[in-house]
Amino acid sequence: MVTSSRFPVAVHILALLAMQKRSLSSTAIAASVNTNPVVIRRILGSLAQAGLVLTQLGSEGGATLARPAEQINLLEVQHATEKDDLFTLNTGQASLFCPCGKNIQPVLANVYAHMEAAVEEVLAHTTIAQVVQDIEVRINT
Amino acid sequence: MVTSSRFPVAVHILALLAMQKRSLSSTAIAASVNTNPVVIRRILGSLAQAGLVLTQLGSEGGATLARPAEQINLLEVQHATEKDDLFTLNTGQASLFCPCGKNIQPVLANVYAHMEAAVEEVLAHTTIAQVVQDIEVRINT
DNA sequence: CCGAAGTGTAACTACAATGATTACAGATAG
DNA sequence: CTATCTGTAATCATTGTAGTTACACTTCGG
């Protein structure tokens, strides 16, 4: 399984914005994440579309949190950054002539739905504020 | 996120072997899954290595379940077919000069561990026998 | 009103994982 | 002995991703 880094980078961005109270440019964020500013801008675009950050054009522009960090949970971040579901049943059509092949797809889809729900439960109960707090605990050691 | 089809195909294979009591060749299985026999043999190899199926070389060879379907859960199948964890934190090293970048990785790893545990809980409680039963319910309708 | 500093996006490249396929060596039943 | 299997290597096309360059457009500050 190849997992994208968009979600972890997005959490990084949001945590950074929560810690620094001021607006940050994509270049400044890119320096912390250690990647290219365009990569950051792409992800910021998704986050802005989802209403998680505000971006300002022009000189002295940049991004800020659209809401307090306590009110942003990781499930929203996940949905904003990844268009597909966490688990997508990605098989070609099995044989319709086989009783098993003909019926296994919805059964597997059901299993995947349970997996998805379990992960979403975890993500929905974790906020950016908690992430920031965990980071700050580590800073003070 | 690009998800492999190895896991769902493996479940398909095991369900098929559970339903047909006899040994099946990779060609026969491939016909049900609708793919190439070599793809099936590769996955069967992983399943055999994990002790979930028995394979027999030579003429009249093929694969059978190594254990009753009630005693094979999907977590074993997952581990047999996918070498990496479900979620791997896949980011380059963030900046060590930024307090956030320096400390976010273990925090995110912790989140991922919770996600992983939640999914494993679901998979561990689902057996091939249950999958087969769900399939059979659908056949009789 | 102009220039510097930003965002927003398109286009291109390099890279890695995957599935499909061909080919062939080795095993085994009949 | 031969047909029928598995096991495995090698190759190919496809796809998603991150990185990068380039450029139009916006906006603040002098």
Q: How far apart are CA A47 and CA A61, in angstroms?
A: 16
- The single-letter DSSP state of residue B94 is P
Task: Dump pLDDT digits (tens) for B80-121.
Answer: 999 888 998 878 899 999 999 999 999 999 999 999 999 999
Mean pLDDT taken over chain B: 96
- Residue A16 Cα distances to A34, A41, B108, angstroms: 13, 15, 13
Are residues B1 and A84, on separate chains, in Cβ contact within 8 Å? Answer: yes
Are residues A95 and B2, on separate chains, in Cβ contact within 8 Å? Answer: no
Give the per-residue pLDDT at A68: 98
Q: How far apart are CA A35 and CA A39, in angstroms?
A: 7
Strand D at less than 7 A from CB of B50: no
Give the per-residue pLDDT at A25: 98
CA B135 to chain centroid, in Å, comes to 18
Strand D at less than 7 A from CB of B93: no
pLDDT-above-70 percentage for chain B: 100
Give the per-residue pLDDT at B114: 97
Q: Does A141 score more than 90 pLDDT?
A: no
The band of A28, judged by pLDDT with boundaries at 50, 70 and 90, is: very high
CA/C1' separation A3–D13 (Å)? 22
The CA distance from A9 to the nearest CA of chain B, in Å, is 8
Closest partner residue to A135 among B19, B93, B104, by Cβ?
B104
Give the per-residue pLDDT at B141: 82
For chain C, which bases have at least one atom within 7 A of a protein Cβ? 3-11, 17-23, 26-30
Give the per-residue pLDDT at A3: 86
| Best A81, A120, A135 residue to mutate vs chain B (most B CBs within 10 Å) | A135
Are residues A2 and B1, on separate chains, in Cβ contact within 8 Å? Answer: yes
Q: Are B89 and B112 in contact (CB under 8 A)?
A: yes
Give the per-residue pLDDT at A37: 98
Please tell me which residue lies nearest to nucleotide D6, judged from CA to C1': B57
Mean pLDDT taken over chain A: 96
Strand D at less than 7 A from CB of B32: no
Model's pTM, two decimal places? Answer: 0.95
Q: In terms of CA atoms, which chain A residue is nearest residue B116?
A: A119
Q: What is the largest CA-CA distance in chain B?
A: 64
Q: Are A16 and B100 in contact (CB under 8 A)?
A: yes
The CA distance from B132 to the nearest CA of chain A, in Å, is 8
Q: Closest Cα to residue A13, out of A51, A40, A48, A45?
A: A40
Closest partner residue to B32 among A89, A100, A126, by Cβ?
A100
Pairing label, strands A62-65, A53-56: antiparallel
Are residues B94 and A139, on separate chains, in Cβ contact within 8 Å? Answer: no
Give the per-residue pLDDT at A79: 97
The CA distance from A117 to the nearest CA of chain B, in Å, is 9
The band of A88, judged by pLDDT with boundaries at 50, 70 and 90, is: confident
